[in-house]
Amino acid sequence: MTRREPEEVVLTPRSQGAGASTPATAVRTVEFLCIGCPLGCHLEVDAVGEEIVDVRGYSCKVGERFARQEFSDPRRALATTVAIQGGRWPRLPVRSREPIPKALLREASAYLHTLSVATPVAMGDVIAEDLLGTGIDVVATRSMQRSEP
Ligand code: SF4
Protein backbone atom coordinates (compact mmCIF):
# COMPACT_ATOMS: atom_id res chain seq x y z
CA MET A 1 0.00 0.00 0.00
CA THR A 2 1.39 3.41 -0.89
CA ARG A 3 1.09 6.28 1.52
CA ARG A 4 -0.77 9.27 0.17
CA GLU A 5 0.94 12.60 0.16
CA PRO A 6 -1.24 15.37 1.51
CA GLU A 7 -2.47 17.76 -1.12
CA GLU A 8 -1.89 21.42 -0.59
CA VAL A 9 -4.21 23.91 -2.25
CA VAL A 10 -3.92 27.60 -1.64
CA LEU A 11 -7.37 29.11 -1.87
CA THR A 12 -8.27 32.66 -2.83
CA PRO A 13 -8.10 35.02 0.15
CA ARG A 14 -11.57 34.96 1.65
CA SER A 15 -11.84 38.71 1.81
CA GLN A 16 -10.82 39.26 -1.81
CA GLY A 17 -12.22 38.43 -5.19
CA ALA A 18 -10.38 36.13 -7.58
CA GLY A 19 -7.43 37.85 -9.22
CA ALA A 20 -7.24 40.59 -6.60
CA SER A 21 -3.88 41.41 -5.05
CA THR A 22 -3.30 40.11 -1.50
CA PRO A 23 -2.68 42.75 1.14
CA ALA A 24 -0.43 41.77 4.06
CA THR A 25 -3.45 41.54 6.39
CA ALA A 26 -5.60 39.38 4.10
CA VAL A 27 -6.58 35.93 5.33
CA ARG A 28 -5.42 33.19 2.99
CA THR A 29 -6.68 29.64 3.29
CA VAL A 30 -4.47 26.62 2.63
CA GLU A 31 -6.01 23.15 2.28
CA PHE A 32 -4.40 19.87 3.26
CA LEU A 33 -5.54 16.27 3.16
CA CYS A 34 -4.86 14.70 6.55
CA ILE A 35 -2.74 11.54 6.40
CA GLY A 36 -3.21 10.71 10.07
CA CYS A 37 -5.68 7.89 9.34
CA PRO A 38 -7.70 6.47 6.43
CA LEU A 39 -10.56 8.96 6.96
CA GLY A 40 -8.52 11.58 5.11
CA CYS A 41 -10.19 14.67 6.54
CA HIS A 42 -9.93 17.86 4.48
CA LEU A 43 -8.12 20.39 6.61
CA GLU A 44 -8.17 24.14 6.10
CA VAL A 45 -5.67 26.54 7.64
CA ASP A 46 -6.41 30.25 7.63
CA ALA A 47 -3.35 32.45 7.98
CA VAL A 48 -2.39 36.08 7.87
CA GLY A 49 1.13 36.10 6.58
CA GLU A 50 2.79 33.18 8.38
CA GLU A 51 0.51 33.39 11.43
CA ILE A 52 -2.21 30.76 11.71
CA VAL A 53 -5.52 32.28 12.75
CA ASP A 54 -7.83 29.28 12.35
CA VAL A 55 -7.78 25.56 11.60
CA ARG A 56 -10.88 23.69 10.42
CA GLY A 57 -11.92 20.31 9.09
CA TYR A 58 -10.17 18.03 11.56
CA SER A 59 -11.99 15.31 13.46
CA CYS A 60 -9.36 14.82 16.13
CA LYS A 61 -6.34 16.47 17.72
CA VAL A 62 -3.96 14.53 15.46
CA GLY A 63 -5.43 16.31 12.46
CA GLU A 64 -5.24 19.73 14.06
CA ARG A 65 -1.58 19.18 14.96
CA PHE A 66 -0.85 17.88 11.48
CA ALA A 67 -2.45 20.93 9.85
CA ARG A 68 -0.41 23.34 11.96
CA GLN A 69 2.82 21.42 11.36
CA GLU A 70 2.15 21.02 7.66
CA PHE A 71 1.54 24.74 7.28
CA SER A 72 4.56 25.94 9.22
CA ASP A 73 7.17 23.17 8.90
CA PRO A 74 6.15 20.16 6.81
CA ARG A 75 8.10 17.03 7.70
CA ARG A 76 8.19 13.41 6.65
CA ALA A 77 9.75 10.26 8.02
CA LEU A 78 12.54 9.00 5.78
CA ALA A 79 12.95 5.26 5.25
CA THR A 80 15.41 3.89 2.74
CA THR A 81 18.39 1.53 2.50
CA VAL A 82 22.16 1.88 2.53
CA ALA A 83 24.77 -0.45 1.07
CA ILE A 84 26.24 -2.98 3.49
CA GLN A 85 29.38 -5.05 3.06
CA GLY A 86 29.83 -8.60 4.24
CA GLY A 87 26.22 -9.34 5.08
CA ARG A 88 23.64 -11.76 3.82
CA TRP A 89 21.92 -8.98 1.87
CA PRO A 90 23.48 -6.10 -0.08
CA ARG A 91 21.25 -3.38 1.43
CA LEU A 92 20.44 -2.46 5.01
CA PRO A 93 17.07 -0.81 5.80
CA VAL A 94 17.35 2.46 7.72
CA ARG A 95 15.09 5.28 8.84
CA SER A 96 15.34 8.71 10.38
CA ARG A 97 14.69 8.75 14.12
CA GLU A 98 12.21 11.60 13.58
CA PRO A 99 10.57 13.16 10.54
CA ILE A 100 12.90 15.50 8.65
CA PRO A 101 11.98 18.68 6.75
CA LYS A 102 10.09 17.67 3.62
CA ALA A 103 12.29 19.93 1.49
CA LEU A 104 15.36 17.83 2.41
CA LEU A 105 13.92 14.40 1.55
CA ARG A 106 15.45 14.13 -1.90
CA GLU A 107 18.89 15.38 -0.82
CA ALA A 108 18.86 13.14 2.25
CA SER A 109 17.96 10.06 0.19
CA ALA A 110 20.71 10.84 -2.31
CA TYR A 111 23.23 11.22 0.51
CA LEU A 112 22.23 7.96 2.18
CA HIS A 113 22.61 6.14 -1.12
CA THR A 114 26.30 7.15 -1.15
CA LEU A 115 26.95 5.43 2.19
CA SER A 116 28.29 1.94 2.70
CA VAL A 117 28.54 0.28 6.10
CA ALA A 118 30.14 -2.95 7.27
CA THR A 119 28.63 -5.86 9.19
CA PRO A 120 27.83 -6.55 11.91
CA VAL A 121 25.07 -4.02 12.47
CA ALA A 122 22.50 -4.16 15.27
CA MET A 123 18.99 -2.79 14.94
CA GLY A 124 19.03 0.78 16.27
CA ASP A 125 22.70 1.44 15.48
CA VAL A 126 23.31 4.97 14.22
CA ILE A 127 24.18 4.80 10.53
CA ALA A 128 24.34 8.57 9.88
CA GLU A 129 24.59 11.22 12.59
CA ASP A 130 22.99 14.64 12.29
CA LEU A 131 21.56 14.04 8.84
CA LEU A 132 22.30 17.12 6.68
CA GLY A 133 22.63 19.22 9.81
CA THR A 134 19.07 18.52 10.96
CA GLY A 135 20.22 17.13 14.31
CA ILE A 136 18.37 13.91 13.44
CA ASP A 137 20.18 10.58 13.26
CA VAL A 138 19.48 7.76 10.84
CA VAL A 139 19.35 4.30 12.41
CA ALA A 140 19.30 0.71 11.20
CA THR A 141 15.88 -0.90 11.34
CA ARG A 142 17.22 -4.45 11.36
CA SER A 143 20.31 -6.29 12.48
CA MET A 144 22.66 -7.91 10.02
CA GLN A 145 25.46 -10.28 10.96
CA ARG A 146 28.57 -11.03 8.95
CA SER A 147 27.75 -13.86 6.57
CA GLU A 148 29.89 -16.98 6.61
CA PRO A 149 32.26 -17.25 3.63
S1 SF4 B 1 -8.24 14.57 11.43
FE2 SF4 B 1 -8.12 12.75 12.72
S3 SF4 B 1 -9.84 11.48 11.99
FE4 SF4 B 1 -9.44 13.02 10.36
S5 SF4 B 1 -7.96 12.00 8.94
FE6 SF4 B 1 -6.75 13.17 10.46
S7 SF4 B 1 -6.25 11.65 12.03
FE8 SF4 B 1 -7.97 10.84 10.86
Residue 1 lies inside a defined structural domain of this protein: no
Task: Identify which of 1, 3, 25, 2 has the alpha carbon closest to the alpha carbon of residue 14.
Answer: 25
Residue 98 lies inside a defined structural domain of this protein: yes
Number of domains in the chain: 2
Do 90 and 63 lie in a common domain?
no
Cβ pair 95, 77 in contact under 8 A:
yes
- Tell me the C-alpha to C-alpha distance, in Å, between residue 131 and each of 9, 21, 113, 141: 30, 40, 13, 16
3-state secondary structure the chain: CCCCCCCEEEECCCCCCCCCCCCCCCEEEEEEECCCCCCCCEEEEEEECCEEEEEECCCCHHHHHHHHHHHHCCEECCEEEEEEECECCCEEEEEECCCEEHHHHHHHHHHHCCCEEECCECCCCEEECCHHHCCCCEEECCCECECCC
Residue 147 lies inside a defined structural domain of this protein: no
Do 136 and 85 lie in a common domain?
yes
Q: What is the mean pLDDT of residues 11-21?
A: 52
| 95-118 tens-digit pLDDT | 999 999 999 999 999 999 999 999
Do 60 and 117 lie in a common domain?
no
Which ligand 1 atom minimizes the distance to the CA of 57? 1
The set of protein residues with a Cβ atom below 6 angstroms from ligand 1 is 34, 36-37, 39-41, 58-60, 62-63
Domain boundary residue among 49, 72, 95? 72
Cβ pair 26, 47 in contact under 8 A:
no
Domain that holds residue 26: 7-72
pLDDT of residue 25: 81
Residue 109 lies inside a defined structural domain of this protein: yes
73 CA to middle of ligand 1, Å? 19
Cross-strand partners of 117: 84
| 58-88 tens-digit pLDDT | 999 999 999 999 999 999 999 999 999 999 9
Closest residue to atom 1 of ligand 1, CA basis:
63
Which ligand 1 atom minimizes the distance to the CA of 40? 5
Residue 11 lies inside a defined structural domain of this protein: yes
Domain boundary residue among 22, 54, 72? 72
Say what the pTM is: 0.77
Which CATH number does the domain housing residue 108 bear?
3.10.530.10
Do 64 and 92 lie in a common domain?
no
Do 33 and 86 lie in a common domain?
no
